[in-house]
Structure 1
């Protein structure tokens, strides 16, 4: 009898815990939910906005958590699955297609995203499953596996040589953007038009480019961008507490290929 009472008590406690953590309400896919979980950043109340925000977070953080390859650079697809619970928080996340430990770290960072307004189905709050497949092109120096700090969060910022006498902390990313714009050869892009893409690059503890992630654009454009970025000159490395650290930059760009 005591054992039966103990089981009932445990089940009751578990149910209360689940309710407090938004685990009640069933599970439904983002594509089928009547009212998707939404962010205040969504100007249009659609499931696509929710998916785009999660993917954008992944793109911005992809180079921060460690090694992206197991020795082979090139094109890959990252599979992301998250559950947004009935409190609007990402309570579970999984990222596949990159080394296991890096995927685990990025999944934990996804849980730090600002809460959404909870999804609803049949008039009740529900847990919403989100699946994403995101293509990337990666390049990484052999045996480089360090995590990286965003350049703006370093005590002493990584510095382009032309920025030594300037007080603007945005000088270095702007110089990188300008350097890329002047050197990218669009002859490899066959179709005219506008091409928007995001490149994230990591400078290691000596200030050299050691990891690159490219998202958007075409395969030929990715190859061109990555090839050029590997040729960036050495920077003064970033530091935290007077110790050199790896740091990453996010460089969004839009280029136009004119018709011949």
Structure 2
């Protein structure tokens, strides 16, 4: 009977401690945490802004060279945990491709540290679920009702294609590169068209630093663009485009 009592205590107390640990709220679901983590540029308690910024960051960081050639788009379901300091500590990606998983993990690991979440007056970790659709062209069509567009594309029925052509034309007309090699230059632009229709978070990957600087300068001069919309609200829109600089 004595041994039975000892065994009973050994079994019961770890369970109680485990329940107490879960109840302490050290890791709280993103949708339930009282004060969500804050991504730079978002207001306090703006849950939607933080989630959109995390999604945009991942979409822009992800290298599409690992995507299967026979697919136009790849869906990813992602779970991450941010600790009490707002730093990424765990991630899980639902995919059948080891290459896509490895690149997704790499992209998540460079996520900047966020302002920590708060729950019951204490900094806590949060678990966040989000989904992305990755492709080689426009990155966010599945997340918006209407993509962004310039005035020139207002009447177009294919606004994303019109936007891409507009940017390509604008860059070629305005970029200042004294010597363009035979056959032209290739580069890749990634940026966000924010909820005000302005260009932000610009990244340029070109053949030379000189080309990168020239493209960065011209992209900053893009005219005002009508922002993307979802459910009647203006929302940020990440974009990644291959650019060809024609021989002059």
Larger radius of gyration: 2
More helix by share: 2
TM-score (norm 1): 0.46
